[in-house]
Chain A
Amino acid sequence: MSAERAERRRAWAAVAPALVWTCAFFVVPFAIMAAMSLWQRQGREVVRVWDLSNYHAFFSKPHLVGALWNSLEITLAVTAISVALAYPLAWIIAELVPRRFQRLALMLAVLPFWTSYVVRSYAWTLVLAKNGVLNQVLLGMGAIAEPLEISATRTATVIGFVHFFVMLLTLTIYANLLQLPPNYRRAAADLGAGPLRVFWHITLPLTLPGVMVGAFLTFVLCIGDYITPQILGGNSELVLPQVIMLQLGRGADLPMAAALSIVLMAVVTLAWLGCARWLRLERA
Chain B
Amino acid sequence: MRTILLATVAALAVTGARAAELNALVWCDHTDPALIEPFEKAHGVKVNLKEYEGTGTALSLVEQSRPGDWDVFVIDGIDVPRAIDAGLLAPLPEAELPMADIFPELVMAENHTRDGKTYAVTEKFGYNTISYNKAKVDAAALADVTALWTDEAFEGRIAIYDYYLPVIGLVAMGLGKETAELTADDLPAIREALIAMKRNARSVVDVVSSQTVLATGEVDVLVGGGEWVTAILAAEQPELDWMIPEQGAVRWSQSIGIFADSEKKDLALEFVKYILSPEGQARLATSSCYWAMPANAKAGAVLSDQQKAALRWDDQAEYLKRAQLYPAPDGDLDAAMQDVWTEMLQQ
Contact = CB atoms under 8 A, between A and B. Distances in A.
Interface stretch (A196-204, A208-216, A230-238, A275-283): A230-238
Interface residues of A, number: 35
Interface in A231-274: 231, 234-238, 243, 246, 248-254
A42 B331 contact: yes
Nearest to B330: A43
Interface string A180-217: 00000000000000000000000000000000000000
A237 B56 CA distance: 22
A230 B170 CA distance: 24
A131 B57 contact: no
B216 A252 contact: no
Contact of B218 (A151, A250, A254): A151
A231 B206 CA distance: 9
B202 A152 contact: yes
A234 to B, nearest CB: 3
Nearest to A64: B342
B290 to A, nearest CB: 18
Contacts of B56: 248-252
A22 B287 CA distance: 46
Interface string B186-209: 000000000000000011111001
Contact of B345 (A130, A151, A238): A238
Interface stretch (B4-12, B26-34, B249-257, B332-340): B332-340
B112 to A, nearest CB: 19
A130 B331 contact: no
Contact of A235 (B203, B218, B334): B203
A149 B59 contact: no
Interface in B21-71: 53-54, 56-57, 59-60
Given A43-B331, A149-B156, A251-B335, A67 B212 contact: no
B346 interface: yes
Interface string B157-187: 0010010100000000000000000000000
A64 B342 CA distance: 8
A45 interface: yes
The interface centre, meaning the residue of B57, B164, B206, B218 with most chain A CB atoms within 10 A of its CB, is: B218
A41 B162 contact: no
B331 A45 contact: yes
Given A43-B330, A43-B332, A234-B202, A252 B59 contact: yes
Given A44-B82, A130-B218, A251 B203 contact: no
Given A43-B332, A234-B209, A235-B205, A67 B216 contact: no
Contacts of B202: 149, 152, 234
The interface centre, meaning the residue of A149, A231, A238, A254 with most chain B CB atoms within 10 A of its CB, is: A238
Contacts of B335: 41, 43, 251, 253
20 contacts: A41-B335, A42-B331, A42-B332, A43-B330, A43-B331, A44-B331, A125-B212, A130-B216, A132-B216, A149-B156, A152-B203, A234-B159, A235-B162, A235-B203, A235-B345, A248-B57, A249-B53, A250-B54, A253-B335, A254-B60
Q: 8 shortest A-B CB distances, which residue pairs?
A: A43-B331, A234-B203, A235-B204, A152-B203, A252-B56, A63-B346, A44-B331, A63-B343
